Amino acid sequence: MSVLTASLMMSCSSLELSSAEDDEVTPHVSVTVDASISIDPSQTYQEVLYGADAKLTMKGWADGNVQQVANRMFSEMNLNLLRIPVYAMREATDPFYDKLITIMDASKTANPNVKFFASVANGDGDQNNNLHGADKFPSSMKGCCSYNIYSLNLTAYAKRLDDFIQMLTDNNHQLDYFGPFNEDPAGISDYQKVFNQMNNLGTTKKVGIETWGLQTAITVQADLEPLLDITGSHFYDDGSIPKSQWISTWGNLVSASSNPVWYSEATRYKTGDNINNLIDGLANIFPAIQAGADQIIFYQTTNRFVYFNGGIQPYKFSGFKHLVNTSENKLKIGSSSSDEDVMVVSFAGQDIAQSHIINSSNVTKTIEINIGGGYYSNADFDEKTWDANNIELLTTNTMSQRISSTKWLVTLAPYSYYSVSVPLMN
C-alpha cells in the first residue's frame, strides 16, 4: 500500500471544493493519510436485508429462554428472516420438530413479519451431529439410483420434504423460502426431481446452489439458476481468494445472476466475543454487500450473538445490531476505499448517509473521508466506535473539527469499527 501524504493547508485550490462547499475550518495542519474513502450518495443500489440462522442450534434455543432469544434477534436486531432446519434424517412426525415450532412461534411473537427459510441441515444438535454430504441422509434413501446425487431416492426425499411443509402448515406457519440442498454437489436433474415431485411448495420460493465456496457457486450458477428464485452461496473459500478480489469475486456471481443473490451463511466471527471477532465478521460480509448481495444471513446467530439464556455477546451483538438497524429502509450507496484493509459499506435514506468503516489491520490508520456526488454537510453528526477499549462509543463531529463540508479525517485503531451518520445537503 502506498502511503498518501496530505498537506492540508486549507486553500480552495488544494481542497478543490466548489464555492458552496469551501468552508475552511482547520488551517495549517499537516498529517499523513494512510487511506482515503470516497462516499457518493448519488449512486444508489440495492436494499440489504439481514437474517438469523438456527439450523444447528435450534435445540439449545428451544430448551433455553425462548422468547428472550427471539426478542433479541427479531425485535432488537430487527432481523427479517430465520433460517430453520429441515432434517433428512427425521420424519415430519418426529417429536423433535416440536422444538422447531416453539422457536418459530417465538420468532413470530417478536416480529409478526419475520420470514422462514428452511434449508436441509448438516446436524440437529442432538443425536445427528456433523453430518455433511451424503451422511445427512438416512440409509433408507440411499443406494437405489446411481444417477442421482449420493445415489438417493429423490422421490422418497421429495415426499419427506412435502411432509415437513405440511407439518409447518398444520402448526400455522407458512414457509417462505426452501432449499433442498446445502453444500451438496446437486445438479440440474437432482433439483428438478425434488421440485417436480413436491406438491406442497405452493408460493414458497426456491433457494439453491448454497455451495461451500463462492467460486464453485459462480461455476454452477448458469446451469442451476433457471430452476431457482434465489441464488445462494457461502464463502468458506475466502482464504483462497486474495482479499483485494473479494468484492470482484462476489461481483462475478451477482452480475451473472438474474435472481437475487444471498450470502446465505455469513460467518468468520467465531464463537467467542471480542473486537477481533466482530471485525472479522464485518470484513466477511462487506464484500458481498458492496458487490450487490440482497440478503445476509448470519450463521448460528444463536449462540454466537445471543446466548440460549437470552444474554448477549456485547461486541458482536452491539456491532451487528448497529449495522442492521442503521441500514434499514436505506439503499446502499457508492463508497470505496484505497486500502484493502480499510473496508467500507454505506447506505442512505431520508437525507442521511450512514457509513460503516473498519480497520482490519493490526496498525493504526488515519483515514481521509470524502463525500462526493454534489453532496455535503455543514451539520454536526454522530460517530460511534468499537475498538479494544470501547463498545459503541458515541461522539459528535462538529463542523469546526472537519477540513470542509465534504472532507474530514478519522484515526482508526487496529481492529476497530467506525460508523458515522451524516446529514446530507446538495
72: which DSSP letter? I
Q: In this structure, what C-alpha cell is assigned to residue 368?
A: 481521509
Q: Which amino acid is at 21?
A: E
d(CA 370, CA 15): 11
Residue 174 CB partners (closer than 8 Å, separation 6+): 116, 168, 204
Q: Which fold has domain 49-331?
A: TIM Barrel (3.20.20)
Q: In this structure, what C-alpha cell is assigned to residue 348?
A: 442512505
pLDDT at 29 (0 to 100): 58
> Residue 369 pairs with which residues in a beta bridge?
37, 408
Of 360, 359, 361, the closest CA to residue 369 belongs to 359
The CATH number fitting domain 4-44+333-423, selected from 2.60.40.1180, 2.40.50.140, 2.90.10.10, 3.40.50.720: 2.60.40.1180
Q: Which amino acid is at 100?
A: L
Of 286, 252, 285, the closest CA to residue 267 belongs to 285
- Length of the chain, in residues: 426
Burial 401-410 (b: 16+ CB within 10 A, else e): ebbbbbbbbb
Of 7, 5, 15, 4, the closest CA to residue 404 belongs to 15
pTM of the predicted protein model: 0.92
Instruction: Break the chain into its structural domains and give their ranges.
Output: 4-44+333-423, 49-331
Q: Answer yes or no: are the C-beta atoms of 332 and 345 closer than 8 Å.
A: yes
Looking only at the bridges linking them, the beta strands covering 29-33 and 4-8 are antiparallel
Q: In this structure, what C-alpha cell is assigned to residue 279?
A: 471485525
Of 274, 247, 283, the closest CA to residue 360 belongs to 283
Of 195, 232, 227, 196, the closest CA to residue 211 belongs to 232
pLDDT at 153 (0 to 100): 98
Of 301, 303, 314, 267, the closest CA to residue 51 belongs to 301
- Cβ count within 10 A of residue 280: 17
**Is residue 284 exposed (0-12), middle (13-18) or buried (19+ Cβ within 10 Å)?**
buried
pLDDT at 124 (0 to 100): 79
Q: Answer yes or no: are the C-beta atoms of 119 and 141 closer than 8 Å.
A: no
Of 252, 253, 251, the closest CA to residue 233 belongs to 253
pLDDT tens for each residue of the chain, 426 residues long: 333 333 333 333 233 333 334 444 444 357 899 999 999 999 999 999 999 999 999 999 999 999 999 999 999 999 999 999 999 999 999 999 999 999 999 999 999 999 999 999 987 778 777 788 999 999 999 999 999 999 999 999 999 999 999 999 999 999 999 999 999 999 999 999 999 999 999 999 999 999 999 999 999 999 999 999 999 999 999 999 999 999 999 999 999 999 999 999 999 999 999 999 999 999 999 999 999 999 999 999 999 999 999 999 999 999 999 999 999 999 999 999 999 999 999 999 999 999 999 999 999 999 999 999 999 999 999 999 999 999 999 999 999 999 999 999 999 999 999 999 999 999
